[in-house]
Structure 1
Amino acid sequence: MADDAFTEMGPVDYLVVEFPGNRMTGEGLPLLIDLVDRGIIRILDFAFVRKDTDGTVTAMELADFDGDGTLDLAVFQGASSGLVGADDLGEAAGVIEPGNSAGVLVYENTWAGPFAAALRRGGARLVASGRVPVQDLLRSLDELDQLDQLDRSDTGTHAA
């Protein structure tokens, strides 16, 4: 059965990260490599797309993005499962501004694999999943803090 190879897999997520002005500094790459090295994630696919100012979309190869003469993402060369296709890159380009580029990363959350496998063995199945954007979380916490301050001022109590 083809599913046997995937029974121990963790959840798979994707990210589309926009680089304004096509400026890729590589600052996050060591952290990404560390996540892979520690077995927290496994990269399934990694691709780049550029959207020119006229709206033309171009898939980009792993290359020397900063012009220093070395392949910036050589460690990820071959990290291509084929999961990210031309349609996916087109969709990624649709969410970035003209004149910018984006990295598309598909990864397995290997840290969650044993937990997910145990749930599947027990007959459980994932029926919903999602992400809470950090900005939304911070806004909600600020709103709760403001409500808490109002409640304290209404009751005359003050936090120590």
Structure 2
Amino acid sequence: MTDASADEELGPIDYIVVELPAGQTQLTGEALAELAALVSEGTVRVLDLMFVHKGEDGSIDVTEIEDLEELGDLGIIEATLAEVLAEQDLLDIAVAMEPGSSAAVLVWENTWAAPFAVAVRRNGGQLVASGRIPTQALIASMTNEGE
């Protein structure tokens, strides 16, 4: 992707904040393997991944992926990071967190959708709304259709 066309070639960008189990401070195991697989397959491109830790006293500590000693499967995404999260974003996230908890904050590009997004923009279209349907709501809706 060249700098001149970077804006035009981007797919939709999403983010999630995932609370980690007690005592865990970063993604591990199956979740980490699945993220690495999505990146390897070209389905997504990770733009930012940070870990927020809120101390019992309310203090906030942020760990960037570059600060981790052992990257393991995360090594695959380090080269694609654009570091889009600002300090205020992380402070806002920490406000919603319980003292003593940790969370992973992941921002990614849906590279699978980039060709469609580019075509829409080239035809003069623009994104005017976006959202998510909770999985449980969809399952409930599909279950009720059969009744």
**TM-score bracket for the superposition, by shorter chain length:** 0.7 to 0.9
Give the whole-Å Cα distance in 2 for the aligned partners of 1:76 and 1:113. Answer: 18
Equivalent of 1:30 in 33, 56, 59: 33
Equivalent residue, structure 2, for 1:82: 83
1:98 equivalent to 2:99? Answer yes
Most deviating of 110-119 and 50-59: 50-59
Equivalent residue, structure 1, for 2:131: 130
Query: What is the CA-CA distance between 1:18 and the residue it aligns to?
Result: 0.7
Is this contact kept in 1: 2:45–2:109, CA < 8 A?
yes
1:47 equivalent to 2:57? Answer no
After superposition, what is the alpha-carbon deviation per residue over 1:41-71, rounded to whole angstroms, capped at 9, x for unaligned? 011111111011222111124325xxxxx44
Q: TM-score, normalised by structure 1?
A: 0.75
RMSD: 2.3
Which one has the largest radius of gyration? 1
Equivalent residue, structure 2, for 1:119: 120
The runs of 4+ residues in structure 1 deviating greater than 3 Å are: 70-80, 138-142
Equivalent residue, structure 1, for 2:6: 5
Number of aligned residues? 140
SS of the residue corresponding to residue 21 of structure 1 reads coil
Most deviating of 72-81 and 123-132: 72-81
Could you tell me which runs of 5 or more consecutive residues in structure 2 were left unpaired when the two chains were aligned: none
Q: TM-score, normalised by structure 2?
A: 0.81
Query: What is the CA-CA distance between 1:106 and the residue it aligns to?
Result: 0.8
Most deviating of 115-124 and 52-61: 52-61
- Percent identity over the alignment is 44
Could you tell me which runs of 5 or more consecutive residues in structure 1 were left unpaired when the two chains were aligned: 65-69, 150-160
RCO greater where, 1 or 2, for CA within 8 Å and sep 6 or more? 2
Cα 1:79–1:57, aligned 2, differ >3 Å: closer, same or farther? farther
SS of the residue corresponding to residue 7 of structure 1 reads helix
After superposition, what is the alpha-carbon deviation per residue over 1:84-125, rounded to whole angstroms, capped at 9, x for unaligned? 121111122223222111111111000000001111111111
Most deviating of 41-50 and 94-103: 94-103
Give the whole-Å Cα distance in 1 for the aligned partners of 2:127 and 2:18. Answer: 26
AA at the equivalent of 2:83? G
Give the whole-Å Cα distance in 1 for the aligned partners of 2:141 and 2:55. Answer: 36
